[in-house]
Amino acid sequence: MSHRNLKDKRVLLTGASSGIGWYLASELVRAGAYVVVTSRREERLQQLRKSFGNPRHRLISVPGDIADPEHRQNLVDTAVRELGGIDLIFNNAGIGAVGSFEEASPERLRRIFEVDFFGVTELTRLALPHLHKGVDPAICIVSSVLAHRGMPGKSEYCAAKFALRGWTESLRLELKPSGIDVVTISPSTTSSEFFDSLLDSDPIEKSVRFGIQSAERVAHSILGAVRKGRRELILSPGGKALVWLSRLAPGLMDRLLLQYAM
């Protein structure tokens, strides 16, 4: 795939109520795509639709929790019924937490995996039969630079993103013969509401951040990667430095993280 045209593409997008998802939806609609969006905050989805003059035929909102199997099925059914199929799926929804693993509850780990891993993988499973019939189909995974490097205080989030990375690499190879692209994007810290809704975390907990970028810029980079059919993209210079230094000098990176991230 040399260049994917987004015009008239039938898109399923999760985590659209703010941040990266909000700007992804906005740019997709401007590019002429038909988009089914979801998040738990119905009022924010309504605001998103109103920002485009409430375009019912271009932007369809289906509020709900991506961790709920019934909601995942409803999302796919809605996209197929209203749009006639699915060409692109953007797995963008996610949650995180900051704090010691030893002191956290088991429920925190399970909730993060339900949203960040199972929500992505099982929604994709449901969409795959329709993607096989789609036009220039692709699966986009909005992951994190922490899928490449573990970070103290973010063990559950890193674990889910590491698992997602392994699944994505395998899925990419499985789907290559059928022509479905699998694009993985690894942003660093993004200016969004993500850190305002950390799960079961002390608000005074600090989070080390590598290469803060605006949500709008990240969304633009994601769509550029999908248009070009990129395999994987680490977005910020700080994120790239974190990944490569961890590979080349893991002991040094351990010492730096113990000093500055604890």
Please, which residues have CB within 8 angstroms of residue 247's CB and are 6 or more apart in sequence?
none
SS (H, E, C) the chain: CCCCCCCCCEEEEECCCCHHHHHHHHHHHHCCCEEEEECCCHHHHHHHHHCCCCCCCCEEECCCCCCCHHHHHHHHHHHHHHHCCCCEEEECCCCCCCCCCCCCCHHHHHHHHHHHHHHHHHHHHHHHHHHCCCCCCEEEEECCHHHCCCCCCCHHHHHHHHHHHHHHHHHHHHHHHHCCEEEEEECCCEECCHHHHCCCCCCCCCCCCCCCEEHHHHHHHHHHHHHHCCCEEECCHHHHHHHHHHHHCHHHHHHHHHHHCC
260 a catalytic residue: no
Rounded to whole angstroms, how far apart are CA atoms 105 and 92?
Answer: 25
Of the CA atoms within 13 Å of residue 242, those in its CB half-sphere come to 24
Active-site option among 23, 34, 157, 260: 157
Q: List the catalytic residues.
A: 157
